[in-house]
Amino acid sequence: MGKTTRETSVAYIVRPMTADDIDAVCVIEKSSFSMPWSRESFEREINENALAHYFVAEMDGKVVGYAGMWMIWDSANVTNVAVLDEYRGYGIGTALVKTMADIVKENGAQTLMLEVRRSNERAQSVYRNLGFTVCGVRKGYYEDNREDAILMDLDVTKDREEE
């Protein structure tokens, strides 16, 4: 069950993504990113990439958010995190990232890393609240507008405060 920062609490579950979720994930992807991944990309991630771990947040049978990462040796790299706009602010993105951090820790890895657009201050705030710290910048990283990416990482071996 998720927590909320809004007045009304909402119930949702976070579970592993399946091929049946890809259509809903593509809707979220297209509404969230200027350069969305294709359906084929998600199919490859789910069906062929042994390093990939993807999760969805589901509310009343509807997929409202998703997140993914690649586990590589002692660390993992977040590939994407997105929540439908009308479901933002309920802690769903936070729950998805915490789920990934837990999986990373369970698999004996130490670090969860990600890139976030310099202009996406809301996401950066969420990541900081989860314990991520800035560890670098990738100049001109995003192809659509050459925006910088802020690199952030989380040491999953440190205890996080529970919400």
Q: Which residues are catalytic?
A: 115, 127
Q: Which residues contact 94 (CB under 8 A, 6 or more apart)?
A: 126, 129, 130, 163
Beta bridge partner(s), residue 72: 75
Residue from 44, 40, 46, 35 nearest 82 by CA: 35
Strands 111-117 and 13-16: unpaired
**Bridge-based pairing state of the strands 52-59 and 75-83:** unpaired
Task: Scan for tokens 């009308």, then name that residue.
Answer: 86
